[in-house]
Amino acid sequence: MQYLSSPLHYFTDTMDSANQTALSDGEGAMAAAAASSMASYSLLRLLPEIQTVEILLALAIFVTIHSLRQRKSHGLAVWPVVGMLPSLLLALRDDMYEWVTRVLDERGGTFTFRGPWFTNLQCVVTADPRNLEHLLKTKFSSFPKGPYFRNTVRDLLGDGIFGADDETWRRQRKAASLEFHSAEFRSMTVSSLYELVHKRLLPVLDEAHESRTAVDLQNVLLRLTFDNVCMIAFGIDPGCLRRGLPDIPFARAFEDATEATIIRFLTPTAIWKALRLANLGNERRLARSLKRVDEFAYEVIRTRKKELQLDSSRGGARSDLLTTFMRQRDEDGREFSDKFLRDICVNFILAGRDTSSVALAWFFWLLNKYPEVEASILAELRKIEVKRMEYLQAALSEALRLYPSVPVDHKEVVEDEIFPDGTVLKKGTKVIYAMYSMGRMESIWGSDCRDYKPERWLKDGRFMSESAYKFTAFNGGPRLCLGKDFAYYQMKFAAASILYRYHVKVVENHPIAPKIALTMYMKYGLKVNLHKRDDATLLET
């Protein structure tokens, strides 16, 4: 029975197994179908996300290809939302002035910079002399400094001449012009410079020579011009160039305030205003520096007023700007306010401190690269007085062409305009004119534009000035620098006094790079060693 039942049992088990297998296969098919349906449903749910990723990827590829093509054809990429900001940030890490020069050269002398859409970093940049004559002279009234520039620098410069427009500017310009051309002012500037050079500058350099130590010539020259300009503006001597080169709180505060102000131009207006309101970051540094500047300026003003009240005759003996303006009255016959006096003196210090010293630093660096120029200057120094040093003036002008003390300047158009090169300017457009770049444009100065050649300024041995719209180191048009003649005299006298006594040798491997600032400082200063000349004698004016 067991044998007979075993096949039956086997058959039954087999059938049951088959049924179970069939049932299992059916359930599997149903499960697979369900899984497939769920997968399809999931894919349908993910489809928008997948499409979004595909669209973003395609857009990124398109933008990249477009930007690369644009960069290849125009040298500058314009990205969505952020505009040209990435290129600018990379340039700030390297050399922004050379970057601007390259772009201008590729774009024919003018280009439109487009910053992020949510910022005010939009402007037209130009280095075309035709455009400069248009904005500085022909249509001067259409291109004021403008509210953007004025609001950015107001905390430092107040309503002084460099940020002022219209009647405020004209009133200050007229008063300052009368003073600059007076015999008393000219006498005071020359005598103060002579005293500073012979009693401060040369002893400091002699000390460095005798101790065989390198000296930062840019720092020394900045101290010279700061002392000189403070004597001219305030009638006081801060003593920056005393032996030991002491730290002067007012000078330090003024430099810090200037550097903090330039950072505003690289920061969206809404951001720096918010930082100022919260007293944070760069704005906190600026406020702290301005407090020291104002304390110094207002103390000098109060002291001078007391001196003049006690002894009015002493006012007549002074010819500094502060005392001169204290003797004058405004258009309503009233005394100028302390704020006005502070603003005009601070503006003059800013202009007078940096122009000469920064230019001289680059001048001495260039002489190291072009020893034949130094030899020609020395030949001239041995036989000609300062005022007639034609070759020296040419050498200084050539240094200013390549390294202008103010590398860029700013205007803002108040009505729709068209530049001579065809660039369309809408009302409110900010215009940057790049003096540094102009000195490196072949279209302006020829194929040797990057060479240091004082001879380009000479004709039959006489110095020949260039158009103010080709050589804009001292601006042009109605805003031509009032102190241009004094700046040249200051530079010539200081340079001649140093060169006659010393060969200035730049320290080997000392890094040279421009600093991003209102004026073109050398970022790392100018470390030099001084080698005394055998035939050194004191120069006389």
Cα–Cα distance measured from residue 512 to residue 49, given in angstroms and rounded to the nearest whole number:
53
The number of beta carbons lying within 10 Å of the beta carbon of residue 142 is 17
The number of beta carbons lying within 10 Å of the beta carbon of residue 471 is 22
Distances (CA, A) of 530 to 201, 220, 527: 13, 13, 10
Do 440 and 402 touch, CB atoms closer than 8 A? yes
Distances (CA, A) of 408 to 15, 89, 286, 384, 435: 97, 17, 22, 35, 6
* CA within 13 Å, CB half, 165: 18
> Is the alpha carbon torsion for 229, 434, 523, 85 positive or negative?
positive
Cα–Cα distance measured from residue 285 to residue 279, given in angstroms and rounded to the nearest whole number:
9
Q: Three-state DSSP class for 301?
A: helix
**Inter-residue long-range contacts of 325-333, CB under 8 Å, 24+ positions, other chains counted:** 325/175, 328/175, 330/171, 331/171
φ, ψ for residue 512, nearest 5 deg: -125, 120
Do 154 and 169 touch, CB atoms closer than 8 A? no
- The separation between CA 47 and the C-alpha centre of its own chain, rounded to angstroms, equals 52
CA neighbor of 228 nearest in space, from 512, 541, 486: 486
Q: Three-state DSSP class for 434?
A: strand
Cα–Cα distance measured from residue 500 to residue 382, given in angstroms and rounded to the nearest whole number:
8
Do 359 and 492 touch, CB atoms closer than 8 A? no
Beta pairing class for 122-126 and 430-434: parallel
CA neighbor of 205 nearest in space, from 497, 537, 519: 497
Residue 481 annotated as binding site: yes
- Where is the binding site for heme, in residues? 481
- Where is the binding site, in residues? 481
